[in-house]
Structure 1
């Protein structure tokens, strides 16, 4: 089977910004090996493969260039905008390996996903020390108001808050050492953040499991961050905030997050996506 492969960049209106993802709108008939080959050939951090169901809902699978992954936020946004361009805006239910994810695409083709029920846990002190050593950070460079933790909304992410924008901007780390630690702990990205104000956070997400130094926009980490801020009592009164990501690597991205009072109902992450046209 020859699949139609689309390329979209999520959390941006500019193909040169955001986080690129591959999208296959109808992957029925593709084998696991074929999906993996497509993802590897594209070389994006993830490719989403949609499998329409008889009930009108969609199964979805995500592949990085290296392996299948259980959930990916930016590829979900990319795929749903691409899907809405074909089928019109509205509500879509996705069945992922981590559970049911609902998505709404509005008339402007902005998409909002609602995560699975999130979880937040204490980050082991030894793991924190190891992380900081790998990053070249010290404890006195951390934001004392935002304690390190690990958070989940479809994937696990340590959350480490820097005390300054300069600390966040200066990111150099041991790729192999971080890759090994993340594999041992089952972490997908490390969510490094700096809080500009109550409504604005800046983020950088090292992503060795995806074979890249840094992810320019991470929807699953954004949802997990929303749950984390809720447990810390650090959400603004609106329970909404934005994340600026990718600016330090030349792919600026904007992620909008809303955390309901009932956090178990799922964190909402919104963004736009734009098609990447190639000459191939």
Structure 2
């Protein structure tokens, strides 16, 4: 940090859980004005979370409520990323704790992302982001085969009702569905091999899913491109999965899905995915909590 400006307040929040020990932790800097790219990256590396979010003034003409529209940039400890769902939720919760619930508008490298924060009667805050326009793309057989080899899965481990696809809602995610909960629970993959595949094809995570019931799913997200084995709760992947499930007719066009993530790695979280008829964009919401400094 240069001597020309003071170090900003650096917050630590988890997303998709009201328990600081659950969900996915993120760094949040609500006023990153004056921070260089290098300083933002250094803060993200110091925190060591999969992503940290940095707010600055909005671009001209963004719109939104005065004082509630911002440019948001996301950094992993290694590099800047275009979009991060859990850091968006964490940032919205952190902002609302200081400035109240309501509407926010974030300008990200992936596009404009509106966020609504509501407060329940018991004071619990819940943030819901609206994704950029999603897309669902075919996954080549050789790509799926290589992913299965890296994961140590066989074709028989897949649920035939959920064909492999690439989902996009700000980032690209390869969607693979496990036939059993036991298969999903047993995650032990070739880190370097999966990293190479994902890097070559610009995949942010592999979205592994298992269907418990019509609208309840369990998910896991290998994240070697972020330098970690697994992401605890992945908002962008949840949005991509919602688009995937709707496009393939696996859920009704208008649905509310519950995704459970993180339990297998000791950080349980819950993501709410809302699909609306006539609206391609996907809404992903959840709670959040500040992480005490002593346990950060």
Q: What range is the shorter-chain TM-score in?
A: over 0.9
- The residue number in structure 2 matching 1:158 is 174
- The residue number in structure 2 matching 1:22 is 27
Q: Secondary structure at the match of 2:188?
A: coil
Of 180, 203, 217, which residue of structure 2 is paired with 1:201?
217
Of 170, 194, 198, which residue of structure 2 is paired with 1:182?
198
User: Structure 2 matches for 1:21-60, cutoff 5 A?
Assistant: 21-53=26-58, 56=67, 57-60=69-72
User: Structure 2 matches for 1:53-202, cutoff 5 A?
Assistant: 53=58, 56=67, 57-107=69-119, 108-202=124-218
Structure 1 residue 76: deviation in Å? Answer: 0.2
52-61 vs 16-25, greater mean Cα deviation: 52-61
Contact 1:50 1:60 in 2 (8 A): yes
Q: Secondary structure at the match of 2:87?
A: helix
User: Following the alignment from structure 1 to structure 2, what is the Cα–Cα distance between the partners of residues 216 and 48?
Assistant: 17
Structure 1 residue 199: deviation in Å? Answer: 1.2
Cα-to-partner distance string for 1:107-140 (whole Å, 9 max, x where unaligned): 2310000000000011110000000000010111
The runs of 5 or more residues in structure 1 that have no matched partner are none
Structure 1 residue 235: deviation in Å? Answer: 1.0
- The residue number in structure 2 matching 1:278 is 293
**Matched length:** 279
User: Following the alignment from structure 1 to structure 2, what is the Cα–Cα distance between the partners of residues 32 and 238?
Assistant: 40
User: Following the alignment from structure 1 to structure 2, what is the Cα–Cα distance between the partners of residues 262 and 65?
Assistant: 38
Contact 1:227 1:263 in 2 (8 A): no
TM-score normalized with structure 2 length: 0.92
User: Following the alignment from structure 1 to structure 2, what is the Cα–Cα distance between the partners of residues 11 and 33?
Assistant: 29
Contact 1:117 1:263 in 2 (8 A): no
TM-score normalized with structure 1 length: 0.97
